[in-house]
Chains A and B, each alone.
Chain A
């Protein structure tokens, strides 16, 4: 059974018309999954339980283990949305890379973060970028952050239980103002003002919750994001490398800074603050 048959729109289910299935791809509707993913499924009866055997961590004979080793965070404040991430990729106890780009630039006013499986995150967020662009072309208007996060959540929900690993935040600015949504591979979609995702998220939450204030000015907000990732990178073995900070404003996102965690360590240790550039 192909995956493409699983994703059917509400309209097509309620009005099953044999002719429509021929052309349903062409009719531009909100639910149109134009990118029919013809992924190969394992040729067994129950694909989901088969996959679970191989990567469900409760199982004894675990063959493939996915690490969600990372720290990413995002928060909304009066000046927009701050997104900060680390850059370490681990495979077990081996550090695969210290220079991973965990912020995915979907389009000039939408950012996505990566936590969990790197391939899953970057693939699905690129698919999201495709859908967002199509939406823009069809409706002559930018897609809202709410709609974009819904598109992503619906896309991964069709693969629920099949072993996707993705915990991402969508940050952007649309007609309703700054928007921040958390979407993960179960299909969870949460709207919020402050999120942190990954193995180091608990450390980041500690710093964020202590100092978060909606009325922070821009430089203070960026520094807060930076500091929270630094503290998580310092204590969590699976986070580290560089801290990248992005700022989403009304006219789009802006890359702020990329600082080595070691450099931040020597600065904070001597009780200094990062010089305001």
Chain B
């Protein structure tokens, strides 16, 4: 501990998270949407190897912000735990259980010698066995909270403020509305526009769907149109 009661290593880990590319998650009534800002890929690099949204189980998906290597380890452990749970309890993991497991793992590394905390913040979303959607966020310190919508990584604060302003239960009652909200939130902070967005949609009882670039493009043009219309209205009022 530092003299004023802070765990400095944990706080430095949170700084590392703030340097990572933005990830946003929105929990709708019928779907949980996770979106990340893809880092621009070099010309010779294969695009597929940069995966920031991963499946932990058929019904649990995770996006993260921070050190990708740390994330890989955590994802491995979480995937094993999901299967292990299925084996011993004969039920798929609940979102809360797997979040608690990941958070517990992160906490363990803030309290052992010779180890450093994980430098990632995870957004874990999905549907429980009983059909209820959940979205959780875990921090390097090992705490976890449930959210209706949240963002993490670079400019997370801006995105969260945007979500607080525009999140309504009517907006997310449909899947399309949830996706639109997630994309709008990401567009606020993503510099290079729609080409660098990766959106994943999780529905109850169905496998994860990664939206392809055409669908995202369509959505983005729709959003931009709406923005223009709003800007027009404002001009007219003046």
Contact = CB atoms under 8 A, between A and B. Distances in A.
B97 interface: yes
B89 interface: yes
A150 interface: yes
Contacts of B87: 10
B84 A27 contact: no
Given A11-B81, A14-B80, A30 B112 contact: no
A20 B80 CA distance: 15
Contacts of A29: 81, 84-85, 101
B104 A10 contact: no
A146 B87 CA distance: 11
Contact of A30 (B89, B108, B113): B89
B100 interface: yes
Interface in A1-37: 9-11, 14-15, 19-20, 22-23, 27-31
Contacts of A9: 84
Contacts of A154: 88
A192 B112 CA distance: 46
Secondary structure of the A contact surface, majority rule: helix
A144 B89 contact: yes
Interface string B64-91: 0000000000001100110111011111
Interface residues of A, number: 21
A139 B94 contact: yes
Interface in B51-68: none
Contacts of A208: none
B90 A144 contact: yes
B219 interface: no
A154 B88 CA distance: 9
Interface in B87-137: 87-91, 94, 96-97, 100-101, 104-105, 108, 112-115
Contact of A19 (B90, B91, B100, B115): B115
A11 B91 contact: no
A29 B88 CA distance: 10
Nearest to A19: B112
A88 B115 CA distance: 58
A147 interface: yes
A27 B108 contact: yes
Contacts of A115: none
A151 interface: yes
- Top 8 nearest A-B pairs by Cβ distance? A147-B89, A146-B90, A30-B85, A30-B88, A19-B112, A10-B84, A27-B104, A30-B89
13 contacts: A11-B77, A19-B113, A20-B108, A22-B112, A23-B108, A27-B101, A27-B105, A29-B84, A29-B101, A30-B85, A30-B88, A147-B90, A150-B89
